[in-house]
Chains A and B, each alone.
Chain A
């Protein structure tokens, strides 16, 4: 994402992070497709990219977005806490899928990937439908938060 200040003024946190979700989805789809073609090397590359993008996204949320939201609203045990728990669950699932891929068990990988995708998309729905709009409302006066996210996920 370009760090152009005019662009960032026009963009909401929601739009920016949705784009980043879609970016992760693309790597995920590429990994699945490579596995289906039995292209182990291609799958390893794409899944590696997916994993890196996803973990970076989690880190940016946990270190920048959630603390800003919590500081602003005083809600520490609310939605952000739930999202942290789900990040932890997904980190576990990504490792399990990664192990299947490394051990060459492609069948197992596709099975794991299916549930990972659903977990991930349910999590994304909650963020995109509820948490991000709340962040945009609460953090409207703090453009620095979006700028930080943009530089972390650049």
Chain B
């Protein structure tokens, strides 16, 4: 955080964070409506819709919002016109994610065309804003390198996604299966994993008070993974199957190495007090590790490769197990902190500002996390045995999304109330109070 007058207004990042949980709830709703049929194949319209509600509506939305918020801190660059930039990304992304889900469900080319236009706009604006900042970074740290790789991977993911959408919207001819594989890998391994890694290098050691990640890892991991992904893509696209398989194995090992390194650091944490977000990190990394090992083994075993359950596990573990867990945990740090910070800056000396734990009690975080964990385990069970577990999994998925949203909205409500009460007592004229 910079001094107060350089901090973007609270509404700029918050708009991403309060709308995102709705998309988890919508994915749950979709699964409730569709029932076990949704799991018939990963290519069912409802499965593709639910996937993008999570990957675009929740994950990309929060990750981009948080990135805009973190760039000034981690990279030392201020994003210009924060309110406008946030709106230009948030509005098209939200509507685009909804339209894309609707397009998958109704299969209507017009919907695909609309969704692609909106998503092109939203992701385009985000990529421009973030790239500009990353290029101007005065010092190129390991985190900056990883963020650049992640942003590059997002560009590839979105490019491939738009082409796939073009197949449905305008009838582009392209080898859909291979392109979908590339799109998935760039999205989950390139964009999601490398972004989380870049952020983890900073936040794990600092907020959990652990030793740092090994410096060779910090500088080398993301570029190496990006190069491997590019090589893997070329091999997969060119049809060199064995070489692609081997490269894929190295990629899976790389992902596993990141998960193991993070889990090890977490066991060495010197901050010994209970912290509910720690459970989010552990669940996230354990899911990532399990997913990576499964991905490593699958191509070499006929039984695994043929099992439709494995395909589902390979989607649920990285998306809901890894990404949603870690993002859920990060939101619980970012949102109460930002609210506290803005209250502090505006009310210091005029009214008592609630602490972060009063804005969002640990107990509320823990309860929502249990529902999240239930949803994860039920989804994994549903992948293996849909008839019994689909409905409980769908309900838990909806429940955890709604609860996350309620917890975050709760912070916003307290923020509004405290601010109004505080301002009613004594009008605020400037922000100088923060300077002491």
Binding site for B on A (CB under 8 A): 25-26, 28-29, 32-33, 35-36, 79, 82, 85-86, 88-89, 91-92, 107-108, 110-112, 114-115, 117-119, 121-122, 124-126, 129-130, 133-134
Contact = CB atoms under 8 A, between A and B. Distances in A.
Contacts of A36: 272-274
Q: Which 7 A-B pairs have the closest CB atoms?
A: A111-B355, A130-B76, A121-B206, A111-B357, A33-B272, A88-B436, A133-B139
A115 B74 contact: no
Interface stretch (B232-240, B333-341, B399-407): B333-341
A133 B435 CA distance: 26
A79 B75 CA distance: 13
Interface in B310-358: 333, 337, 340-341, 344, 348, 354-358
22 contacts: A26-B270, A29-B209, A29-B270, A33-B271, A35-B273, A86-B3, A89-B435, A111-B356, A114-B356, A114-B357, A115-B341, A115-B356, A121-B207, A125-B73, A125-B74, A125-B202, A125-B206, A126-B76, A129-B74, A129-B141, A130-B138, A130-B139
B178 interface: no
B1 interface: yes
Contact of A115 (B76, B274, B355): B355
A130 B354 CA distance: 32
B337 A129 contact: no
Contacts of A134: 138-139
Interface string B294-314: 000000000000000000000
B436 A92 contact: yes
A85 to B, nearest CB: 5
A29 B76 CA distance: 27
B143 interface: yes
A122 B1 contact: yes
Contacts of A28: 209
For A86, A114, A119, which residue has the most chain B Cβ atoms within 10 angstroms? A114
Given A115-B340, A125-B202, A129-B141, 4 more contacts: A32-B272, A89-B436, A129-B139, A130-B75
Nearest to A112: B355
B434 interface: yes
B2 interface: yes
Contacts of B348: 92
A90 B2 CA distance: 13
SS class of chain A's interface: helix, strand, loop or mixed? helix
A88 B190 CA distance: 40
B139 A124 contact: no
Nearest to B433: A92
A82 B270 contact: no
Contacts of A122: 1, 73
A115 B1 CA distance: 12
Contacts of B355: 108, 111-112, 114-115
A36 B143 CA distance: 33
Interface string B203-243: 00011010000000000000000000000000000000000
Contacts of A88: 435-436
Contacts of B206: 121, 124-125
Residue of A25, A79, A85, A118 with most chain B CB atoms under a 10 A cut-off: A118
A112 B354 CA distance: 9
Interface string B165-181: 00000000000000000
Given A89-B434, A125-B206, A82 B272 contact: no
Interface string B60-98: 000000000000011110000000000000000000000
A82 B74 contact: no
Contact of B207 (A32, A110, A117): A117
A25 B340 contact: no
A148 B274 CA distance: 39
A124 B207 CA distance: 11
Contacts of A32: 271-273
Nearest to A91: B436
B136 to A, nearest CB: 12
Contacts of A110: 273, 357
